[in-house]
Amino acid sequence: MKYGKRNVHVFHCGSHTCPTSSRLEKPTKRVKQMIKKHPHLKPAEIQSAFVISSLRTEEDWEKVEKEATQLLDRKWIANQKQSVRQQTHSSGENFEAVVTFKQYCDKKDSLLIYKVNDRHGNPDRPSFVFKTSEEKMKAALNMDRKREHFLKGEYCFFRR
């Protein structure tokens, strides 16, 4: 016997009667495609969908059984789902999506998302999204006690 970091080689002298078993490659690409199309599916539902798909396309029994045995490990499917989720939301907190949304909203209301900071990109400050709107800012300006507006005597509260 010879041991390695990731594998073991077993040598046999004499006649060998044990059947050989082939290592099945899991359909990683197909599973990830299905997860991207249907991210709400649970691992058991993904298993069923693969088998049902093979049955509907009337694949031969060997192929159906082979695919079913490749997908027995639900933990592996859950790990693939986590991998797809990390690729989609690489930082966990998807501030990139907020920045993209801010760029879109700035065309109509530049104050809807006033300021964004991601602590991963700017570690000196915490992560935050400060949002408001032009209407809210006009109301706040009208509350200025030095101005002649009926809101000058009202109070303004900030909510966290």
pLDDT at 153 over 80: no
> Per-residue pLDDT tens for 13-66?
777 777 776 666 788 888 899 888 888 889 999 888 888 888 888 888 888 888
pLDDT at 1 over 60: no
Residue 131 main-chain phi, psi, to 5 deg: -125, 150
Residues in the chain: 160
- pLDDT at residue 118, as a whole number: 76
- pLDDT at residue 22, as a whole number: 67
* CA distances for 102 relative to 98, 109, 132, 140, 155, angstroms: 6, 9, 12, 22, 29
Residue range 130-143: average pLDDT? 74
Q: Where are the domains of the chain?
A: 25-88, 95-153
- pLDDT at residue 4, as a whole number: 63
Quote the CA–CA distance of 48 and 28 in Å, as a whole number: 16
Which 8-state DSSP code applies to residue 128?
Answer: E
* CA distances for 121 relative to 53, 89, 96, 136, angstroms: 44, 15, 11, 29
> Per-residue pLDDT tens for 63-116?
888 888 888 888 999 999 988 887 776 555 567 777 788 888 888 877 777 778
- pLDDT at residue 93, as a whole number: 54
Which 8-state DSSP code applies to residue 123?
Answer: T
- pLDDT at residue 64, as a whole number: 83
Report the candidate in 34, 21, 27 with the shortest Cα–Cα distance to residue 68.
Answer: 27
**Segment holding 130, helix H or strand E:** strand 128-131
